[in-house]
Amino acid sequence: MSLLSLLLFAFVTSFTPGPNNIMAMLFANKYGFKKTIRFCLGVGAGFLVIILLSCFFNILLKNFIPKIEFIMTIIGSTYMLYLAIKIITSKNNDKHTDGDKNNSFFAGMVLQFVNPKGILYGITVISTFIIPYHTSNFSLLLYSIFLAFIGFMGTFSWSVFGSIFRMFLTKYRSQFNVIMALLLMYSAVSIFLE
């Protein structure tokens, strides 16, 4: 397994704008950093559950359909390329919903079950980077905790630097998107080079 590709994919997916990060940024701007920590912890807990479910779902598929590994790799890589294209072609959209009642641990956790980016990330990262190399319950648990921690740090970072990131992304959005997309493309291509 290419640890660099895994880390690049996890970093790009966790730190680029998405529902978790945008909401954390907005909550930090509106309620302050301390009141946003509970939301970030909820996001991390929900993300851990999604990753664990993805682990066992992917193992179930791999055990029942042994040839699925190659297909899962193709789907995972294709999804990463799709994300790269979406990142490059995304437009600046500052229309965010105001969620004054949703700044809680529970809201952060439940968000993961309706967040397509998080669910697809969980399925993709596990099927592409983890399951082909590690299938023991202990290693899956460790990787799940590790990936959930990266996801939590992405959301946490957006809450800490909410207003700074917002200004940065507004000013340098195209350059940032190109760099993130190129890193995703590298991750996708490196899967086939191993």
Cα 85 to its chain centre, rounded Å, is 16
Report the distance separating Cα 80 and Cα 121, nearest Å: 9
DSSP 90: P
Which pLDDT tens digits describe the chain residue by residue (194 residues)? 678 888 988 998 888 877 788 788 878 877 778 888 999 999 999 999 999 999 988 888 777 666 666 776 777 677 778 777 877 786 655 444 444 555 788 888 887 887 777 888 888 899 889 988 888 999 999 999 999 999 999 999 988 876 566 667 667 777 877 876 787 787 777 766 65
Which structure tokens are listed for 102? 């949703």
Report the distance separating Cα 179 and Cα 185, nearest Å: 10
What CA–CA distances, in Å, run from 91 to 88, 160, 172, 177? Answer: 9, 24, 12, 10
Which residue matches tokens 């294709």? 78
pTM above 0.85, yes or no: no
- Phi and psi, residue 37, nearest 5°: -60, -40
**pLDDT score, position 94:** 45
